[in-house]
Amino acid sequence: MRLLRTMAQLRKDYDIPLEINKDSEYKEIKREEKVFPSLMISKSLESSLPFKSKNKVKSVVKGKSINYEEDDTFLLKKLNLPHNKPIKNYMTEKEKTIYSMLQRLQTIKNIKDKKTKQVGKEFEEKKKSEQEKEEKLKRKKNREKIINNIKKKHKENK
């Protein structure tokens, strides 16, 4: 016989619900969008870079030059609209699963293609070796015929 009962047994017997801690409830976290400053490169360093890596100046407005990087938000700034660039999430979870499945199927297809090419090459090599054997046999038979003909002529001449 057991004298002590656990808390779970007591709660069950007396229908006492679990105490819910307010600290352990889920709270939705709201984060501000992160806006990263554009990369600033000193002019001395930029002059030593190759042309492909240099900042390209698109146009000049009121004495200011606009870089390609800033051009996306230029009109929004001008119209006093929010111009924070959101961090892009290109695919949803469903699209990601579909994309990964397509990648798997593509790799399976590539493996099958490699195998079929390899089997085709082996088949061609086998076929070539058989043809070479047949040609050798034909040459050998032709030689034997020629030798036999020569022997016959030689016997007739004697």
Q: How far is CA 123 from the centre of its chain?
A: 33
pLDDT band at residue 55 under the 50/70/90 scheme: low
pLDDT band at residue 88 under the 50/70/90 scheme: low
Tell me the mean pLDDT in the region 85-91.
Answer: 63
Hey, where are the domains in the chain? Answer: 90-158
The pLDDT tens digits of the residues spanning 104-156 come to: 999 999 999 999 999 999 999 999 999 999 999 999 999 998 988 888 888 88
CA dist., res. 98 & res. 88, Å (int): 19
The pLDDT tens digits of the residues spanning 33-52 come to: 887 777 777 777 777 888 77
Picking from 99, 73, 77, the residue whose alpha carbon sits closest to that of residue 86 is 73
